Amino acid sequence: MKEKDLRHLSREELLELLLVQTRETEKLEKKLREAEAELAERRINLEKSGSLADASARINGLFKAAENTAKQYLENISAMKEETREKCRKILEDAEYEAERIRKGKPGDAVTKALLDEIKDFINEKD
């Protein structure tokens, strides 16, 4: 409405227009507060998603470290297994040598042969 038109209105009409404008202003202020609250919530969500992305990256790093540790552990176990097999073979060789030495002193000793067979079976089970 133009200023000229406003001058021709009565006091009551002017107050009514003022009341309508006040209500409209209140509605707009309410919408503004709601929009500001929504914006604040979106900012919080963005910050959280950034934090979640950082946490996810850290967790992925932990999983990678755990995977590497497990891999290294399995490699160590495998190496220890080979060392143990070698030690067992050496013990078997020593036992066979000792058994042969004993056999020469006591030909046909069944107990010595049975022990050697048990040792061989034990080694073969482990392979």
C-beta neighbour count of 19 within 10 angstroms: 10
pLDDT at 31: 94
Q: How many Å apart are CA 109 and CA 56, to the nearest integer?
A: 69
Q: From residue 16, give the alpha-carbon distance in Å to each of 8, 11, 102, 111.
A: 14, 9, 126, 121
Residue given tokens 């006040």 in the structure block = 22
φ and ψ at residue 11, rounded to 5 degrees = -60, -40
pLDDT on residue 23? 93
CA 107 to chain centroid: 65
Going residue by residue through the chain (127 aa), what tens digit of pLDDT does each one get?
677 777 788 888 888 888 999 999 999 999 999 999 999 888 887 777 667 777 777 788 888 888 989 999 999 998 898 888 888 888 888 888 877 777 776 645 666 677 777 778 878 876 5
Identify the pLDDT of residue 106: 60
Q: And the tokens for 23? A: 């209500």
